[in-house]
Structure 1
Amino acid sequence: MSKIHPSAIVDPKAELDSSVEVGPYSIVGANVRIGAGTRVGPHVVIEGHTTIGKDNHIFQFASLGAQPQDKKWAGEPTRLVIGDRNTIREFCTFNTGTTQDEGVTSLGDDNWMSAYTHLAHDCRVGSNTIFSNNAQLAGHVHVGDWAILSGYCGVHQFCKIGEHAFIGMYTSLTQDVPPFVLVSGNPAEAHGINIEGLKRRGFTREQINGLRTAYKHIYRSGLTLEEAKAKLAEEEAAAGAVETGAAPYIRAMREFLGTSSRGIVR
């Protein structure tokens, strides 16, 4: 029995694995590729140069691969790339990239994208993230692995959110968020390390304490950002070379500070 509903419109040039399911009244364009085990619900539109991996579940009314909402876009064949095992709920809108960046909007693996979430052009989202309802990314935003964005938070273009960060509900984010940090508010303010999230993911007490010390150097010590980076380098060295300790995570914070172009929430 065919897994493509008779009312669905799938362009003959689209490449769908034989196990892909497409629900009633959905539309799949010519330049779309979908991997094994992915389920596309009813009334979904997948267009543009879009590649979707394996075992994703795309719920009704999602719009994936539409042209970027950028007046500079002039019809270039930019892309949307989605990995494996993602849950994409109702009314999600993910756009393709632009030539002003690398031309790709991407979503990694094992992400939970709740209803009405938006990935604008050239966004890069890692793996194992959670986006609650109405979390919205403007263009060129980068989000690290395991980050959580709560409901109705909005992220300004070109911002970066580090791995394991937590963004609170209704937060207006206009600057970067270092890895492991919890921020909330409008304007956004830092409120410590995302301790509960780190515990749930198996971080040890030693690792969490190392990150808390790093946080104090950045936010509580009165140091300039350059001075804080130097302190983090000292903490990283003191933590030793054992990869099970805090050193690699302190390093991640220090390196993030060196790549921030918009400044950090501080």
Structure 2
Amino acid sequence: MAKIDPTARVENPAGLADDVEIGPYAVLGPDVVLKEGVKLLAHVNIQGATTIGARTTVFPFASLGTAPQSVHYKGEPTALFIGSDCIIREHATASIGTAGGGGVTRIGNGVMMMTGSHVGHDCTVGDSVIFANNAVLGGHVSVGEFTFLGGQCAVHQFTRIGAQCMISGLTGVREDVIPFGNVLGQAGKLVGLNVIGMKRRGFSKSDLHAARAVYRDLFFGEGTFEARLETVREQAGTSAFAAAVVSFIDADRKRPICQPSRGVIKEE
């Protein structure tokens, strides 16, 4: 049977697994679903059609599933899905979706949201993403798996961030970031590849050399960006890095791609 502190307020018919733990002064709306092993510490607020996956822990004063911060939202039924094994720290927030944005905000498995971080409406966050303190996503953002979002970084609405990226603290991201990209600066620019993350994910020394060569061809080669992209496309059959980058860019050709400051290559 769920363990619910007597000071908590849980509206029926919220769906609670048998071993859920709900701490003091938590408030849950009627459409909330908590899977097995979920723990809500004191003063947690969960509203809307919010589903939280197994073994996720939510710390005090987090607020999840509230109405999107969008002038276009008119109270239509939308949802928030949070995966399993997540850690959501104090004052973190995530909104339900909007009808115009697909209706769903989705956070993957094994995600860590540190204090004060925010996931806006209609965002998609991949597995094992880490939000440092006060990292924030505007609406309709997508973030690939194993990406690290540094403290107080801000990602502009509709921006796409590929898998295994590093977004440095205090960085403003307003253009799409290729997979494995390392972005820095108030108006974020690529400063190389997320080599540390790539090593952790099993990239060999030869893999890294090949990835750097593709990076140079794409951003520092001769000709227009489109011409350089075609050069990289020819390498996609033999380079997993090239294939991932080309696939990411092709998925939405209308979006601008974050690029380096011309003439600067960071060597890790």
Measured against the shorter chain, the TM-score band is: over 0.9
Percent pairwise identity: 39
Distance 1:153 1:137 in 2: 9
| Paired letter, 1:263 | P
Q: Which residue of 1 aligns with 2:151?
A: 151
Tell me if structure 2 keeps the 8 A contact 1:217–1:223: no
Q: Is the 8 A contact 2:235 2:243 kept in 1?
A: no
State the distance in 1 between where 2:210 and 2:111 align: 27
Residue 261 of structure 1 aligns with which residue?
A: 254
Shift of 1:145: 0.4
Do the aligned partners of 2:236 and 2:246 also contact (CA within 8 Å) in 1? no
Report the Cα offset of residue 24 of structure 1: 0.1
Within a 5 Å distance, the mapping from 1:10-159 to structure 2 comes to: 10-159=10-159
Deviation at 1:260?
4.3
CA contact (8 A) 2:8 2:24 kept: yes
Q: What's the secondary structure of 1:100's corresponding residue?
A: helix
Q: CA deviation at 1:66?
A: 0.1
Q: Is the 8 A contact 2:34 2:51 kept in 1?
A: yes
In structure 2, C-alpha distance between the alignment counterparts of 1:70 and 1:222, rounded to whole Å? 43
Say if 2:190 is the partner of 1:190: yes
Q: What SS class does the counterpart of residue 84 from structure 1 fall into?
A: coil
Structure 1 segments, 4+ long, off by >6 Å, are: none
What one-letter code is carried by the residue in structure 2 that aligns with 1:107?
I
Opposite residue 129 of structure 2, the aligned amino acid is T
Unpaired segments ≥5 residues, structure 1: 240-246
Pairing 1:150-229 to 2, within 5 Å after superposition = 150-229=150-229
With the length of structure 1 as denominator, give the TM-score of the two structures: 0.94
Query: 2:2, 2:17 within 8 Å by CA — same for their partners in 1?
Result: no
Q: CA deviation at 1:236?
A: 2.1
Deviation at 1:2, TM superposition (A): 5.5
1: CA distance between counterparts of 2:223 and 2:95? 40
Task: Name the SS for the 2:145 alignment partner.
Answer: coil
The residue identity in structure 2 corresponding to 1:250 is A
3-state DSSP of counterpart to 2:214: helix
Specify whether residues 2 and 110 from structure 1 end up closer, same or farther in structure 2 by C-alpha distance, changes over 3 A only: closer
In 2, the alpha carbon distance for the partners of 1:222 and 1:148 equals 31
What is residue 244 of structure 1 aligned with on the other side? none
Instruction: Report the count of equivalent residues.
Output: 258
Deviation at 1:16, TM superposition (A): 0.5
* Alignment check: 8 A CA contact 2:2 2:20 kept: no
2:246 is the alignment partner of 1:249? no
Q: Deviations over 1:6-52 (max 9, x none)?
A: 10011120000010100000001100001000100100000001011
How many angstroms apart in 2 are the aligned matches of 1:171 and 1:126?
Answer: 20
SS at match of 1:206: helix
Three-state SS of the structure 1 residue aligned to 2:101 is coil
Q: Output one character per residue of 1:199-219: Cα deviation in whole Å (capped at 9) or x when no partner.
A: 122112232222211111122
Distance between the aligned counterparts of 2:85 and 2:217, measured in 1? 38
Report how far residue 257 of structure 1 moved: 1.5
Contact 2:105 2:121 in 1 (8 A): yes
Could you say what secondary structure the match of 1:261 adopts?
A: coil
State the shift of 1:225 in Å.
2.4
1:22 to 1:223, Cα distance in 2 relative to 1, 3 A: farther
